[in-house]
Amino acid sequence: MEKRQAILREGRERRYSGMIAKRVRHFQRYREVARVLVSNGFAWFIDRVGLADILRLPRRIFVGMSRQETLLTHERMRIVLERLGPTFVKVGQVASLRPDLLPKNIVTELGKLQDEVPPFEFDRVRSIVEDELSSPIEEAFAMFEETPLAAASLGQVHQAVLKTGEVVAVKVQRPGVETQIQTDLEILRDIAVRAEKHVESARHYRVTEVVDELARTVTKELDYVQEGRNADKVRENLQRDSHVYIPKVYWEYTTQKVLVMEYVEGIKLSNVDKLEEAGYNRDLLAERAAKAVFEQLLVHGLFHADPHPGNIAALPDHQILFLDFGMVGKLSQEMRDELASLIIALMQKSTDLIVRALFRMGVVPSDVDLSKLTRDIDDLRDRYYDVPLSEVSLGESIRDMFSVAYEHGIRIPTDLTLVGKALLTIEGVVEELDPEFSIMDVAEPFGKRLLKDKVDPARLAKKLGERLLQVTDFLGEVPQTLSQLSQHLRKGEIDIRVRAPELEQVLKKLDRISNRLSFSIILLSLSIFIAGVVLAAAVSKPALSSFTMHITDGAIVVAVLMGVWLIWSIIKSGRL
């Protein structure tokens, strides 16, 4: 016990010294962050967490520096992020996708952040491209446009032509952005740790976990190789859908800081007037864009997490073009099943089904107030109850559900929370194309198809086999676990303290519990075995049917005899 406490103490001291070292290393940036916070009405926060003294901020800056206090807190938070530059803007944009981590008013406000930054000089573009490709830019490209097509906080895109004649889009990472993001994320985490120590609301919202979650997401977007893999995988998943197009990645020119993809020019879906002039059927574009998103979400489980108008365009023959796969979500088969259940529950406006879906989706705290959660879901359901299904926003409904889950401490997996944002975004896109279009009409068939697949006999048989293997593995590990436990007990490495007036009664209860546990495990194993045999009989050929039925009968007889014997022996001992 003392050794464990010493290790924990050493870990805390190491983390503390690490935070001190980071403050020294990033001292000027710390002061800049603190000054921006103070000038926007957060002087109380800087003072409360003790940064004023640590950063040696002059007391005079706390006087007359609250000119923004007429604005609401969440509005001032957005202004702070905008003034702190591209890294903080990107963190804020990622945070706006996570209603499970932050209050709804803050999430909504952060959604207004604009990623508008000036492009960096072509000399620096040339330097990065040549360093990454290990060759002069003229050797790799027949032409490289110096003026970028677009610029963002993490990088910018240039048009170019390969020596082989293909027109490509070259995405180049902003110089120094990786170091700057790492610095700012370290500062954010340090402030979050201090906030949890000194501010009750920070502890309630678990801001350190929030910062860690956002840091992981932002860091992923810095890896252009991963972005290329995401695009390739989505392209492979949707290759049978002739109505969707994903640009090709040129891997021989792609590195962690340079991404070269096929250049495809289309009309952005947000440019409705231009679509009209070109003769596009806007209703058809809306339907195909929505179907493409649900195909990614519910069928393949790998989806574009930010399908805003700038990332979707129309090609000839009403083909839908998806761009920029820096942020994607990944849903396991189990997650897709639960998402389908939630969509159906929302359509049926069933509080009970919604609550059950939320429980299966997230990590539920032991002290969750189920009755209050049900009431909150009821209140939310009532908001949509008299609204026609065609007028209900699926994305907004899901985000509202996740917000309620957040208020009750239910942690929803990151990728599932991105679903709400993706749906909300695509709903906005298709609504611009066709105000009468209902995304629910597209969602329902996908949801029902997924639920139907869930009860497919072949899939059930596979799942049953997996469960049987799990039980077999568990039973096989029991002797080894007991042996290890015995060794720890002999060495005195387990400290057990029991406070009970009648130790004998406690031991008897433990004996009963162990008997019942043994009884349950044996019957569970036999039940799974019998179910497997029955299923095998059901799907086997006629020639094997009589044989498997004899095995089934024998297994049932053995199970019954063993069960009777076990119950009789336990009852006889008086310890059931």
Q: Where are the domains of the chain?
A: 2-113+183-220, 121-174+224-264, 268-455, 457-573
pLDDT value, residue 203: 82
Instruction: Please write down the HEC assignment for all residues of 214-256.
Output: HHHHHHHCCCHHHHHHHHHHHHHHCCCCCCEECCCECHHHCCC
State yes or no: pLDDT of 163 exceeds 70.
yes
Which of 184, 306, 324, 337 is labelled catalytic? 306
CATH number assigned to the domain with residue range 121-174+224-264, chosen from the 4 options 3.90.1280, 3.30.200, 1.10.3470, 3.40.50: 3.30.200
With a CB cutoff of 8 Å and minimum separation 6, the contacts of 391 are 438
In terms of average pLDDT, the best of 48-52, 227-231, 432-436 is 227-231
Q: What DSSP state is assigned to residue 363?
A: B
Q: Which pLDDT value is given to residue 317?
A: 94
Averaged pLDDT, 94-105 = 75
Confidence of residue 523 (pLDDT cuts 50, 70, 90): low
Question: Is 306 marked active-site?
Answer: yes
- Cβ 377 vs Cβ 351: under 8 Å: yes
Residue 52 has pLDDT above 80, yes or no: no
**Mean pLDDT estimate for the chain:** 79
Q: How far apart are CA 65 and CA 51, in angstroms?
A: 16
Q: Which residues contact 544 (CB under 8 A, 6 or more apart)?
A: 537
Q: For residue range 362-389, list pLDDT tens digits in order.
A: 767 777 888 898 888 888 877 766 677 6
pTM higher than 0.85 for the full model?
no
Mind listing the pLDDT tens digit for each residue in 270-302? 888 999 999 999 999 999 999 999 999 888 999
The rounded distance, in Å, linking the Cα atoms of 84 and 37 is: 9
The per-type count for the chain, helices as H runs and strands as E runs, is 24, 11
Q: What is the pLDDT of residue 16?
A: 46
Closest Cα partner for 172 from 255, 115, 91? Answer: 255
CB contact at 8 A, 259 and 325: no
How far, in Å, CA of 481 to CA of 203, rounded?
37
Long-range contact list for 56-60, CB < 8 A, 24+ apart? 57/31
Q: Return the sign of the alpha-carbon dihedral for residues 19, 20, 21, 23.
A: positive
Q: First-to-last CA distance in the chain?
A: 36
Alpha-carbon gap, residue 233 to 495, rounded angstroms: 51
State the pLDDT confidence band at 165, using cuts at 50, 70 and 90.
very high
Cβ atoms of residues 524 and 568 within 8 Å: no
Asked whether the predicted pLDDT for residue 555 surpasses 50, the reply is yes
| Residues 434/439/444/447 CA torsion (nearest 10 deg) | 140
What would the pLDDT profile of 202-215 be if each residue is shown by its tens digit?
Answer: 887 778 888 888 88
CB 34 within 8 A of CB 46: yes
Contact 217, 414 (CB under 8 A): yes
Angle at 519 between CA 514 and CA 522, to 5 degrees: 120
Separation between Cα atoms, residue 554 and residue 375, nearest integer Å:
51
More confident position, 157 or 382: 157
Report CA dihedral (458, 463, 467, 472) to the nearest 10 degrees: 50
Q: What's the confidence (pLDDT) of residue 124? A: 97
Give residue 553's pLDDT. Answer: 60
